[in-house]
Amino acid sequence: MIKITPLHPVFAAEMTGVDLRTPPDADLVRQIDDAMNQYAILAIREQLFDDHQQVAFAKAMGPLERTRGVIDGHKHRLQYDEMIDISNLDTDDSIMRADDRRRMFNLGNHLWHSDSSFKPTPAKYSMLHARVIPPEGGETEFADMRAAWDALPEATQALVENLVCDHSLIYSRAMLGFDAFTPEERTAFEPVPQRLVRRHAGSGRRSLYLSAHIGTIHGWQRPEAMALIRELTEHATQRQFVYRHIWQPHDLVIWDNRCTMHRARPFDDRRYKRDMRRMTLEDVGPTLAQPA
Ligand code: OGA
Ligand code: MN
């Protein structure tokens, strides 16, 4: 029997009683979507996926993202191109070298972000599956952007509701001082515009659309823009809006990037392996093409 139990006062729930190794039928897809629309984060433990089963599950949930926002020049470690490698592992499954460019780039996941907000059509759901977990650290934190919007003073809501931001991987990496992009990567990661406030299609609620990928607000001076984005991010990531997921092997966590942010927490990545694999659904179009 399927059961849904809240994990946090404002969002996030655990679903039990499903085995997703068999792709879900339309009825189960609807139950997952309904739970997602309400809770935005769904943890489903003990899913003994292999890559093939994880891909099949993701395809049943909706259209997949077709490009990976990663820096390349190395062979992809995983057998499926559509699967994002969230690990500290090199192509041969050994721990990455300390000075590896990919390791530096991946540290960007420690900043609060929404997946693929730097793509013209950003991500809808991310579905991350834990294969190998370090003995301590390496949690993932999630923040509820609908609750954060609701809690803003009216004057701030009025100030921000029609703003448009530019997002790029180059901006988020610059925050940590990473700028080792090739000319091709600079072209691929050209900034894209996104609304700062969006209406969540699944619930009709409004949501802040924040991300570390934001580098400016249209029509604003950059320092003024970034000071506001920082204020909003601090507001939106206060503890009352945050759920921390402590991973166990075989956990599947699905989050809605349209109305949440997330960040990775540190662990001893020189010593322990952490192997997580992500499938990502694409949203219906650019946020500016969606109703506000
Ligand atoms: C991701 C991500 C955070 C983590 O998979 O998109 O940001 O804790 N992961 O690995
Ligand atoms: Mn992410």
CA gyration radius for the chain?
A: 18
How far, in Å, are 12, 31, 35, 56, 60 from residue 27 at the CA level?
Answer: 21, 6, 12, 16, 11
Of 261, 246, 269, whose CA–CA distance to 111 is shortest?
Answer: 261
Q: Please report whether residue 274 resides in a domain.
A: yes
Task: Dump pLDDT digits (tens) for 159-200.
Answer: 999 999 999 999 999 999 999 899 999 999 999 999 999 999
Atom 4 in ligand 1: which residue has the minimum CA distance?
A: 264
- CA of residue 154 to ligand 1 center, whole Å: 32
Q: Please report whether residue 290 resides in a domain.
A: no
> Measured from the CA of 109, which atom of ligand 1 is nearest?
7
262 Cβ below 6 A of ligand 1: yes
276 Cβ below 6 A of ligand 1: yes
Helices (H), the chain: 26-39, 51-61, 101-106, 145-150, 154-160, 169-175, 183-188, 222-236
Q: Please report whether residue 91 resides in a domain.
A: yes
> What is the side-by-side order of every strand in the sheet holding 84-87?
3-6, 13-16, 41-44, 252-256, 123-132, 275-282, 84-87
Q: Please report whether residue 13 resides in a domain.
A: yes
Domain coverage including residue 207: 3-279
Q: Please report whether residue 232 resides in a domain.
A: yes
- Write the CB contacts of 48 (distance below 8 Å, at least 6 apart in sequence): 21, 250
Could you list the mean pLDDT of each consecutive 10-residue stretch along the chain, which spans 292 residues? 97 98 97 98 98 98 88 85 96 95 94 98 98 98 98 98 98 94 92 98 98 98 98 98 98 98 98 98 97 82
Strand partners, 276: 86, 130
119 Cβ below 6 A of ligand 1: no
CATH number for the domain spanning 67: value is 3.60.130.10
Instruction: Check the CA dihedral 13-19-21-24 and report its sign.
Output: negative
What pLDDT does 286 receive? Answer: 98
Contact 192, 172 (CB under 8 A): no
Q: Please report whether residue 137 resides in a domain.
A: yes
> Measured from the CA of 138, which atom of ligand 1 is nearest?
8
Length, in residues, of the chain: 292
Q: Please report whether residue 291 resides in a domain.
A: no
Task: Dump pLDDT digits (tens) for 146-158.
Answer: 999 999 999 999 9
Q: Please report whether residue 285 resides in a domain.
A: no
126 Cβ below 6 A of ligand 1: yes
What pLDDT does 74 receive? Answer: 80
Task: Dump pLDDT digits (tens) for 58-84.
Answer: 999 999 998 877 776 688 999 999 999
What pLDDT does 71 receive? Answer: 75
Give me the number of domains the chain comprises.
1
